[in-house]
Amino acid sequence: MTCFCDDYDTPWKEAIERYLPDFMAFYFPQAHARIDWLRPYRFLNQELAQVVQDAELGRRLADRLVEVGLLDGDAAWVYIHIEVQGQLEPHFAERLFVYNYRIYDRYRRPVATLAVLTDDHPGWQPDRFGYELFGSRHYLEFPTVKLLDYQGQVEALLTQPNPFALVSAAYLLTRQTKGDDQQRYAVKWRLTRLLYERNWDKQRIIDLYAVIDWLMNLPEELNRQLWRDLATLERNKSMPYVTSVERFGIEKGLLQGMQQGLQQGLLQGEATVLIRQLTKRFGPLPPAMQDRLNQATTDQLESWAERVLDADTLEAVFNHH
């Protein structure tokens, strides 16, 4: 089984943030039905990081905290803490209990804790933590979704329009193809073709391919074959999405030298993420600014990224003193 280690949740975080309504509709439909999606929602990632730090529980996999409005006419906001957990963790429920009350303590508004479990342990599905003493009770019960519970539903998942049905299918197919690289290649290629056949927009294809690619690791030769096939598919469909943008640096590096390619690919990825963050915060970037980002060094990108959340203007990000 692919190791669902600390870095595994990275593409999940990106997908959740970009497609929160789809995520909620697929995994937590009852909650989705109560949220007013016409009102803007807001992710509070920096605030969640502070809650985690205050909890003094060490390095954790807390994912996303989002502020949403409800359909019941209440003008105030409520909060959703979303946790994607890829490993069996003995004190998982206790950790969510701590996060929940610390978030409540910070905002004094209702907090819903929701968990998606992507681990490989069928019998592990924590959904509560609490204690009772002298008639005093303190409990947290939270909905959990176990991706293993979708076993046997892969073909049905592949027909559903929700992108997280495809993500769930990719997870299950990753498990099924453990130790069989050729079969995994065939499955990964099938899922990739499905992305293009659904006529989704460019960004959705890139984001979901990133999740599939992260899950379905292949030997380098099969990866090169997949990228060649993908390039042919994109030419035939006149849709140069993944290969021309996200994979160019890495593909070029594989042909000219693995180390150079990985470095270039990582730089390009960092620049792409920072451009997205800046655009979301300050609006469309001038072409000259995008060129500057694409030509920046790793140190420059990291320095600018640290200022994105606190800077009041775009200029303050780049002209810090």
Task: Measure Cα distances from 191 to 12, 110, 163 in Å.
Answer: 17, 39, 11
Please report the pLDDT score of residue 316 as a whole number: 78
Determine, yes or no, domain membership for 1. Answer: no
Nearest to 249 by CA among 234, 231, 261: 261
Number of domains in the chain: 2
Q: What share of the chain has pLDDT > 90, as a percent?
A: 34
Q: What is the pLDDT of residues 229-251, one digit of tens each?
A: 888 887 877 766 676 544 544 44
Determine, yes or no, domain membership for 137. Answer: yes
Q: What's the mean pLDDT when you consider all of the chain?
A: 80
Nearest to 264 by CA among 286, 248, 241, 287: 248
Determine, yes or no, domain membership for 307. Answer: no
- Of 49 and 129, which is predicted with more confidence? 129
Please report the pLDDT score of residue 74 as a whole number: 62
Residues 140 and 246 both lie in one domain: no
- Token representation of residue 204: 């959705």
Total Cβ atoms within 10 A of residue 180: 11
Residues 63 and 93 both lie in one domain: yes
Contact 170, 213 (CB under 8 A): no
Determine, yes or no, domain membership for 312. Answer: no
Residue that terminates a domain, selected from 105, 135, 150: 150
Please report the pLDDT score of residue 248 as a whole number: 42
Domain carrying residue 135: 6-150
Determine, yes or no, domain membership for 308. Answer: no
Please report the pLDDT score of residue 246 as a whole number: 47
Across the range 163-172, mean pLDDT stands at: 93
Q: What is the pLDDT of residues 54-68, one digit of tens each?
A: 554 433 444 789 999
Residues 172 and 143 both lie in one domain: no
Determine, yes or no, domain membership for 319. Answer: no
Q: What is the pLDDT of residues 87-146, one digit of tens each?
A: 888 889 998 999 999 999 888 889 999 999 988 898 899 999 999 999 999 999 999 999
Determine, yes or no, domain membership for 172. Answer: yes
Across the range 250-270, mean pLDDT stands at: 48
Q: What is the C-alpha to C-alpha distance for residues 122 and 115, in angstroms, rounded to an integer?
A: 15
Please report the pLDDT score of residue 80 as a whole number: 95
Nearest to 44 by CA among 52, 32, 33: 52
Contacts for 74 with CB less than 8 Å, ≥ 6 apart: none
Sign of torsion over alpha carbons 132, 63, 127, 111: positive
Across the range 249-265, mean pLDDT stands at: 44
Burial label for 290, CB within 10 Å (0-12, 13-18, 19+), is: middle
